[in-house]
Structures are given as structure tokens and as C-alpha cells.
Structure 1
Amino acid sequence: MKSALHNSPFRGPGGKIFLIGFMGSGKTYWGNIWAKQSGLAFYDLDEVIEKEQHKTIAAIFENDGEAHFRKIETVALKSFTEKNDCIIACGGGTACFHENMLWMNANGTTIYLSATPQYIFDRVLDDKEKRPLIKKHNEAELIFFIEQKLKEREPFYNQAQIILPVTELNEESLSTFNY
């Protein structure tokens, strides 16, 4: 497993760090903390999309469907081609569509924040109404959905250059990463 954050050098000046992983794994939370520590700019891809589209991710899913959302998401992701020295928290499915994982690996450092299904369940349960893929599931269905979707997505997530279990993350470990 490619895990130790401090043993994996950041790609230097002009580099981008793409945080990937399942919803609820802490990409936005840890990305914000890391950006503040490092002085790098921070972007949440979902927020970028919502600002550009003038509607929420949930509304895009509901009105236009997931396939349309994934196309918009890829365009938003690739808009970072000219941005440098930044951390980008990607959506949970970003790595799994339109060869986005290949693009991210070629254009920056990818870090998979890996989490167990139970960890994810505990984090998303209270705000599932904001998450289009899970809002219709009751608790029993939700844990099953997370387990199945995680199995489906892990082959993409595991292509990341760094795999970091979220249980190993803390502010000190982020501050030791060579950026």
C-alpha cells in the first residue's frame, strides 16, 4: 500500500494535489486544513460546479441526471489545467468517469483518502439529504449502498499515487508532508 504521506514528495512548484475518495471521507475537511497549513490555494470541485452552474449538485442530478453531471464535472476538473500550487477536493465519483483519473495522475499528485464503509456511513448519515446518490436510502440500505459503491469505485481510487487511510490523518501528519 502506498500510504505514508511524508514519504511521498509533492511534485514541486506549480503542482496540484487532487484529493479523491468516497463521499464523507473528509476530502474537503482535510483539504481546507492542509491548504491553510501550506499556503496553497484550496478548491472544492463541487463548489466550483455549483458556482458555474448556478444550482446545487443535487439539483443538477435531479433535473439533468448523473450522466450530464459527470460531463460538467470533467469540464470543471480540467479547468484546473492552468491553475498551480493548489489542493483540489474532488467529488466522490470524479475519479471514476471520463478517464479523469488518468488526467489527474498526469497533471498532479493524487491522494486517495481511504475509509471503511462504517466510517463513511457515520459521516454521511446526518447530511444524506444533501447527497443525491444516497438521499433516498434508509439506514439499512445506506450501509449496503456504501459497501457496494465503494467496491465499484476502489479500482479507480487505487490508481492514486498515494493511498492514505483517513484514520492516519491528523494536522501534524499533514504538516510533515513535503510540499
Structure 2
Amino acid sequence: MVRTEISLFLKNVPGELGRLSSLLSAEGINIDAITIQDASSYVQTLFQARGKSLKRIASSASYNSMRKDSADFALIRILVDQPEKAIALLAENEYLFDTVQVIAVKLSNNPGELASITTKFGEAGVNINYVYGSVSSPDEQCLFVFCPEDIRLAAGIFGE
């Protein structure tokens, strides 16, 4: 299913995630999936991408500044049950965020399920930029979130 993922930067200090999740919950917005990484890892990925492509994304001074500054922030990616409401709330509270369309899939919690779905992506020629997921018990379905390079092609795998 195609869903809207919200990516935002938070200060990497105690209590920030609590403030964000409290803000959302106070408005009745449920977080269906979340992943967090420190932004310094994100910036390191930019460095690696630059090295592989030999294309400069920013000046050297900018990279050094980003590396130093980004350790103070975390990159949060969330799926919520009411994305439009969450986006308005984040804007109203002056959060720095962006949105992207992703594919969210519920899978049976069995060996080979992830292999089956990722093989379908590959056979359709869809590259996956990143994925995250979880499960709470062996008897429940897993929720996996895929960010493909081509959302239309990926959605076609699922008949959307």
C-alpha cells in the first residue's frame, strides 16, 4: 500500500522524541512505524555517495560543517495513521520535515517472506533506497516500509 512517510530532524537531546510523540498523541495521531538514526550517519552516507559518484553535492567546507553540526540532530522517519493532520501539526509547530511516498506492506512472520517481497521488487526492476520494519510476536504480521526509487513501478507490484 502506498503511504506518506514523514522525515524530520530533531535535536539529539533527551526528551525530543517524547515531545514529538506527545504532540502527535495529543491530537489522536498514531505512529504506525518509526525509524531513527543520528543525522551524522546520514551525512556520512552523503559523503560515501559523493565518493562513489565523484560528484560534489556541496563544498568541502559545507561537508565539514554538516558533519560537525549533524551530530547534534537525529533523522526520524515515521508513518502515521493521519498524515495530513500530522503534516499540518508539524508545520504549525515549526518542525523541519519532508514527505515521501513509500510502500508499506504487512507480511506474515515466516522465514522467506521478506525474501519473496524483495525478489518481486528486483524482478520488477525497482531499487530500494531503504527499508525498515518490525514485528511484536511470532504470531503477528510484520509491517515493513520500503522506500523505492520509483514509487509508481513499485506500487504496480501490488496492483495499486
- Report the TM range for the smaller structure's normalisation: under 0.3
Larger strand share, 1 or 2: 2
Larger helix share, 1 or 2: 1
Q: Which has the larger Rg?
A: 2
TM-score (norm 1): 0.25
Q: Which has the higher contact order (CA 8 A, sep 6+)?
A: 1
TM-score (norm 2): 0.27
